[in-house]
């Protein structure tokens, strides 16, 4: 299934300072060799992302952890062995290998081992780290297919590795282990309950950190259409209200929701993991059809439902 020529080409480009979009299980990443400062700067430029917002460094395996993190607490090893490769990012004190260009000058670095055969093949062959934010323009919806990447970034990226649709569909869960108290900086593709089970303690969500976490800006992950949040039982009333204002309205929600047949709808499964998998693709479909507003039904607030609710809330936040 994996074309070795494509892997070879991606690695070659990355070694020469290129920028390559590659699939992970969460979303597609825009990757550069983390130790090549010029290539990393190009990633920021392509995304239009402020240089103070640090990037995640993707590594081939847990055995690489200590070359990027100067302190590896026992909690990090426990989480890494339970969930890597997988949708978990660990923030740890950095070694000099993690440069200012990647960390935004902070003393910590965000690290993860992605769970996608193509990303792993590239990382193993390269043998280093890949700085890779999501492969979208800053503030917009993250890409979950190679087609999304091509449509967003076009010829700005040197090569797009097509690994099919992402299986998780929302970004990794970021856990800060750089201070005494572990904390979740961004809810994501690994449920908080899972992190707490392995650490054997509650892990609070702390999205207002002093560190610049772009996913924590109020407005982020946003489609062009406006987004209005609704509990499923209020969805119809919201639609009627917005239509009354002359707006083109679509609904993002479960197929079980009963709506008049003339209301365009974008099905999002009821189960939170299913909702996470299709969320970004549905937001893009709604934009492609030119809706002014989407009424988005919130999934239950447990498991991956927390991440889906977080992304929808940011999509619904006031924009500049």
* Residues binding ligand TXA (CB under 6 A): 24, 26-27, 29, 53-56, 89, 91, 103, 106, 108-110, 114, 132-134, 171-172, 174, 185-186, 211-215
- Interaction residues for Mg ion, span 83-102 (CB under 5 A): none
Per-residue buried b or exposed e for 45-60, using 16+ beta carbons within 10 Å of the residue's own CB: ebbebeeebbbbbbbb
The beta-strand segments (E) located in the chain are: 20-22, 29-33, 56-58, 88-93, 108-112, 130-131, 159-160, 173-176, 183-186, 226-230, 249-253, 265-267, 293-297
Q: Which of ligand TXA, Mg ion, none does residue 89 bind (CB under 5 to 8 Å by kind)?
A: ligand TXA
User: Which residue number, 89 or 167, has a Cβ lying nearer to Mg ion?
Assistant: 89
User: Which residue number, 33 or 230, has a Cβ lying nearer to ligand TXA?
Assistant: 33
User: Which residue number, 110 or 295, has a Cβ lying nearer to ligand TXA?
Assistant: 110
Q: Which of Mg ion, ligand TXA, none does residue 24 bind (CB under 5 to 8 Å by kind)?
A: ligand TXA
Q: Which of ligand TXA, Mg ion, none does residue 97 bind (CB under 5 to 8 Å by kind)?
A: none
Nearest approach in angstroms of CB 272 to Mg ion is 20
Nearest approach in angstroms of CB 142 to Mg ion is 5
Nearest approach in angstroms of CB 229 to ligand TXA is 22
Burial class (CB in 10 A: 0-12, 13-18, 19+), 69: buried
Q: CA triplet 127, 128, 131: central angle to 5 degrees? A: 140
Question: Which residue, judged by CB position, is nearest to Mg ion in the bound state?
Answer: 134
Nearest approach in angstroms of CB 75 to ligand TXA is 16
- Interaction residues for Mg ion, span 119-138 (CB under 5 A): 134
Per-residue buried b or exposed e for 95-134, using 16+ beta carbons within 10 Å of the residue's own CB: eebbbebbbbebebbbbbbbbbebbbbbbebbebbbbbbb
**Total of residues contacting Mg ion (CB under 5 A):** 1
Residue 271 DSSP SS3: coil
Residue 58 DSSP SS3: strand
How many Å apart are CA 220 and CA 265, to the nearest integer? 23
Nearest approach in angstroms of CB 22 to ligand TXA is 8
Which residues, listed in sequence order, are joined to residue 184 by a DSSP beta bridge?
Answer: 175, 205
What letter would DSSP give residue 141?
P
Judged by CB under 5 A, does residue 26 bind Mg ion?
no
Question: Which residue, judged by CB position, is nearest to ligand TXA in the bound state?
Answer: 133
Q: Which of ligand TXA, Mg ion, none does residue 103 bind (CB under 5 to 8 Å by kind)?
A: ligand TXA
Nearest approach in angstroms of CB 212 to ligand TXA is 6
Q: Which of ligand TXA, Mg ion, none does residue 91 bind (CB under 5 to 8 Å by kind)?
A: ligand TXA
Residue 184 DSSP SS3: strand
User: Which residue number, 139 or 274, has a Cβ lying nearer to ligand TXA?
Assistant: 139
Q: Which of Mg ion, ligand TXA, none does residue 27 bind (CB under 5 to 8 Å by kind)?
A: ligand TXA
Nearest approach in angstroms of CB 251 to ligand TXA is 27
Burial class (CB in 10 A: 0-12, 13-18, 19+), 256: exposed
Closest CA to 222 of 147, 100, 92, 316: 316
Binding site for Mg ion (CB under 5 A): 134
């Amino acid at each position: 299934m994996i074309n070795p020529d494509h892997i070879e080409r991606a690695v070659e480009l990355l070694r020469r300072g290129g920028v390559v979009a590659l699939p992970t299980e969460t979303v597609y990443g825009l990757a550069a060799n983390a130790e090549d400062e010029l290539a990393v700067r190009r990633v920021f430029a392509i995304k239009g992302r402020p240089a103070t917002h640090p990037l995640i460094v993707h590594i081939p395996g847990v055995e690489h952890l200590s070359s990027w993190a100067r302190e590896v607490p026992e909690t990090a090893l426990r989480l890494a062995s339970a969930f890597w490769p997988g949708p978990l990012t660990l923030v740890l004190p950095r070694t000099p290998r993690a440069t200012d260009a990647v960390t935004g000058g902070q003393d910590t670095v965000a690290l993860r081992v992605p769970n996608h055969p193509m990303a792993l093949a590239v990382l193993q062959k390269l043998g280093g780290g890949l700085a890779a934010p999501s492969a979208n323009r800053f503030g917009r919806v993250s890409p979950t297919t190679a087609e999304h990447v091509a449509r967003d970034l076009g010829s700005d990226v040197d090569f797009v590795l097509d690994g099919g649709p992402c299986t998780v569909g929302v970004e990794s869960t970021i856990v800060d282990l750089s201070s005494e108290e572990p904390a979740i900086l961004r809810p994501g593709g690994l449920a908080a309950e899972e992190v707490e089970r392995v650490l054997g303690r509650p892990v609070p969500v702390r999205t207002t950190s002093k560190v610049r976490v772009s996913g924590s800006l109020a407005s982020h992950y946003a489609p062009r259409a406006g987004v209005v949040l609704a509990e499923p039982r209020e969805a119809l009333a919201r639609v009627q209200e917005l239509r009354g204002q002359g707006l083109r309205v679509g609904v993002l929600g479960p197929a079980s929701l009963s709506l008049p047949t003339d209301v365009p709808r974008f099905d999002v499964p009821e189960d939170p993991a299913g909702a996470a998998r299709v969320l970004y693709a549905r937001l893009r479909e709604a934009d492609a059809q030119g809706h002014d507003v989407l009424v988005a039904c919130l999934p239950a607030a447990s498991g991956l439902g927390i991440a889906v609710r977080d992304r929808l809330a940011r999509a619904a936040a006031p924009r500049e």
